[in-house]
Amino acid sequence: MPSEGEETFWLHCRAHNLTPEREYRFAAPRRWRADFCWPDQKLIVEIEGGQWIQGRHQRGSGFALDCAKYNAAVLAGYRVLRYTTEMVRLGRAIEEVGFALDSYHTYR
């Protein structure tokens, strides 16, 4: 089930006419999925939750698994942007993603 941050980011994407793939499998045969991905631009966006309640991503084993996942994405050539729900709410995530997508086309 998508988190509040993921749903808010999805709404921001729609408002900006951006169409990422959700729950994108980027490292088959691994079961890793990116919250949002623009495969053609090699951009992954992860919305991190639970930072104030010691959620799965903040505890030892969950954090270690996330590190392995993000490192695998980078080694596969993806750019990885990570945001908290608050960063999404404030518009920082959609602003930076727009910049990242624009810069991909500008500097390619």
Strands 43-48 and 33-38: what pairing?
A: antiparallel
The residue segments making up the domain with residue 47 are: 11-107
Does a structural domain hold residue 49?
yes
Residue 58, phi-psi category: left (phi > 0), alpha (psi -120 to 50), beta (remainder)? alpha
pLDDT tens-digit profile, the chain (108 residues) = 789 999 999 999 999 999 999 999 998 889 999 999 999 999 999 999 755 455 555 556 778 888 999 999 999 999 999 999 999 999 999 999 999 999 866 554
Does a structural domain hold residue 1?
no
Does a structural domain hold residue 56?
yes
Does a structural domain hold residue 59?
yes
Domain CATH number, residue 21: 3.40.960.10
Does a structural domain hold residue 2?
no
The model carries a pTM of 0.85
Q: Is 51 strand, coil or helix?
A: coil
Does a structural domain hold residue 6?
no
